[in-house]
A and B are shown apart, each in its own frame.
Chain A
Amino acid sequence: DAGITQSPRHKVTETGTPVTLRCHQTENHRYMYWYRQDPGHGLRLIHYSYGVKDTDKGEVSDGYSVSRSKTEDFLLTLESATSSQTSVYFCAISESTTSDTQYFGPGTRLTVL
């Protein structure tokens, strides 16, 4: 597996609380992505980053924000968690414009009560 870690791996929180998920890579890859996975929907893109401080929205970005202050870290924040954000969150990385191949982290299972 590519050098990607996610933390925490599991989290249970309450509606209305802020939550931050972390993705850390040791591959020095330029692109990083956050997806959420829900039954029947496959994986859907939340946000992605194409460099330090460079981010863009995906198809399901409402309620989420991201930050990337270092090449190796990409943070996903739920400002005020809702039950609809209960999901498994995957981070992915890809090397550069010459390679589209994406490698996934182990995932974070988030439950919002």
Chain B
Amino acid sequence: NAGVMQNPRHLVRRRGQEARLRCSPMKGHSHVYWYRQLPEEGLKFMVYLQKENIIDESGMPKERFSAEFPKEGPSILRIQQVVRGDSAAYFCASSPTRTGGHGYTFGSGTRLTVV
């Protein structure tokens, strides 16, 4: 039973390019959360999705960032026209219920570097 799978592990993009980060939740988990960790900072909530629905996107920057969790396939975090400030570790977590907490499992993260 694989855990939460994120890919790629490392992603390098030039300024202005698009970044697509993928997250496959644990089997049986239909709740997905995305968090961002900037250098020397703690993790910050970005967005919470269930299959085909965005439930809470209060942590998403207003522009350039979007997320989806289609009926089939992984959840995708998309960053358009990346800038240096987007360089960070992006972690996905899945949970069998929306209460999370001790039901959370985190993926290994995607380290995005914008050059």
Same complex origin of A and B:
no
